[in-house]
Structure 1
């Protein structure tokens, strides 16, 4: 076994794909102490700055008085009043009838897919879906079909293929906002195809929840932006560890869906409930989403970054979200640029395969409502010479 482990680790190092932990002294806000150095972080998913919000921290501290842990699964005796309050608030924010808490987005996606489809059914997914959706589809036992990223014609080919072979269930699962590219799924058109081919639509709102929405449900996510209601987007998954600044995840939908998942989602049934402190922090975070103009501030930061980056002729992708990737292609190049940025005082994610397809290594710059324009200027001023130094080495 040791020989196998050593060989695989050596192979990963040789491929420039080896990953190391960065040790933070506390949650970035957006300045953090990283491995003993003070850095401005542009690598966090804390899009609204709620991970360090004093009201959220105070709510967590108050929630801890209910107990350090839930002590059991939700269906044994681990479901507290604070959990129910949070589920009710999620339903309100998303414009759905009900919601169910999960330990993480990964557990939610795997649990939901496996509860809804199995052998004899079909799962259809975008090729750039998050790993949790991909893994959920693979282990479900359903026949697994994929289509080129955001390609509606390719999607229809797969839906038609599934419907011709199957009179049963077909599930289409997609990210609302893609975590590594920052672009959005064409959900309105996808919902129309789902109706045409009698398919259930599941939207992963991990990176859309809290930061975008509609006039009626401004924090609900990308499905709300597309005008999709509970009928047209019946399965809505969101995480509480990104825009909400906490941890955990949820599924929102009809009461019947939530009751069904309570009975059949194994990743919900057979795991300890969310710690009450986390539930209390999440609840306060969602209240702040409704009360403060955090989304508007974030959008201002996104617009400012893109305008300044365009003026500097930086290679931007077609993303209007808080995720602003800079594709460099080569693993060694992206590591070198990230290292130069860190030397200049900025922490940016160097994303490489297998997280992204081969040949698409990139800097994943993520923006927060907590960033200042001066911090964004500082990053861009450091990024230009870092890119030039790597492109034209001495």
Structure 2
């Protein structure tokens, strides 16, 4: 490796540091949960309130999931040491795919190492140069990268702007596109905004387009029995992608669910599926158990949204600038990247674990603390965290 190359890399890192945009990781030395133990900069804090995990239903340390994962090792081993089509498919992999498809109301599903891989896989095998993809401007990076891998013509519409979406649909149809796919997040994770799926699906029907939805921040807690955004609105979409790494247990793994023919072709052509190891048996077994908990989890969903309302009302009463919404993602807008990091540091001093979000995760000038509610948090936890926000916010000048 040349000195010139390393110098360039070092200069890039120095620039990131100078702009106040360096991301630093902190060590969690306990199980993931509503209260955690965190080590950072030589300081260890116990019983910290965790407000930045995607652990919406609080299942990441659920005893039932831990128990079935432990038991799985005797029956199914530790790892698969192979991709699926060679010798990496156990009975439990197909059980999970079929169970998940039934839960989501689809004919079949296919598992991936992560939803990032699922979104990287879904477009290229299904669409070619004769086709078109129309993507929401705020879609997750994995959708953007997946579209880049596909040879279909690309269009982008302004976030949830149905007039712009229709204009792009007309443009794609008039250009002679064979098939058109609309791609959108079900929930836009930086803002907590819900996609307008009723209007998206109406326009798709009008222009004979397909609809693909990434439902990572909805499956498990939005809609009846947590079946996601399409169920929340009572509409149907063609293809769903999602993750087991958030509400469905919080481990790892992604999926695509849809019509049988689509899933069958993805098994033959989806490169992240063909060239990546199968999910570990323990994760598969635990995901099956998580689906049982989620399907019967109305009490968890009720608690999650009770917490969300209490938390949002509390932050607003303190004078913080919040984005509107109903989702358990509640962004606290600060604007400046340095301020978001200072706020996160002060909150940690007060026993509250959050992360500052800034460019390139969000646009420059739109830095924030993205707080996320989960069902494991108690009113005592939330009051403790609100007190921390009040003290930290005043210390850094975010509120008066």
TM-score of the two chains, using structure 2 as the length reference: 0.94
1:233-278 per-residue CA deviation (whole Å, 9 max, x = no partner) reads 1101110000012210111112222112111211111211100010
Q: For each residue in 1:171-217, what CA deviation from the matched residue of structure 2 results, as whole angstroms up to 9, or x when unmatched? A: 11100011111110000100111111221100000000001113xxx
SS in 2 for 1:133: helix
Whether contact under 8 Å (1:63, 1:279) holds in the other structure is: no
Aligned-pair CA distance for 1:393: 11
> Does the 8 Å contact 1:183/1:321 carry over to 2?
yes
- 1:382 matched to 2:383? The reply is no
Following TM superposition, by how much is the alpha carbon of 1:326 offset from its aligned partner in structure 2, in angstroms?
0.7
Shift of residue 313, structure 1, vs aligned partner: 3.3
Q: Which moved more, 1:285-294 or 1:106-115?
A: 285-294
Cross-structure match for 1:20: 24
Structure 1 unaligned blocks of 5 or more = none
1:272 aligned partner: 277
Corresponding residue number in structure 1 for 2:238 = 234
1:247 aligns with 2:257: no
Q: d(CA) in 1 for partners of 2:31 and 2:148?
A: 34
Aligned to 2:394, the other structure's residue is in SS state helix
Structural mapping, 1:183-332, within 5 Å: 183-214=193-224, 218-229=225-236, 233-244=237-248, 245-292=250-297, 293-332=299-338
Shifted more, 129-138 versus 165-174: the winner is 165-174
Compute the RMSD of aligned alpha carbons: 1.5
Cα deviation code 1:284-338 (max 9, x no counterpart): 1111112232112111111221222233333221121111101111101111111
How far apart, in 2, do the equivalents of 1:393 and 1:162 lie? 47
Within the candidate set 28, 36, 41, 2:50 is matched to 41
Would you say 1:59 and 2:68 are equivalent positions?
yes
Native 8 Å contact 1:326 1:363 kept in 2: yes
Q: TM-score, normalised by structure 1?
A: 0.95
Alpha-carbon distance between aligned partners in 2 of 1:7 and 1:312, rounded to the nearest angstrom: 40
- The number of aligned residues is 388
Does the 8 Å CA contact 2:318/2:399 hold for their aligned counterparts? Answer: no
Cα distance in 1 for residues equivalent to 2:188 and 2:307: 19
Q: Distance in 2 between matches of 1:297 and 1:210?
A: 13
Give the match for residue 59 of structure 2.
Answer: 50
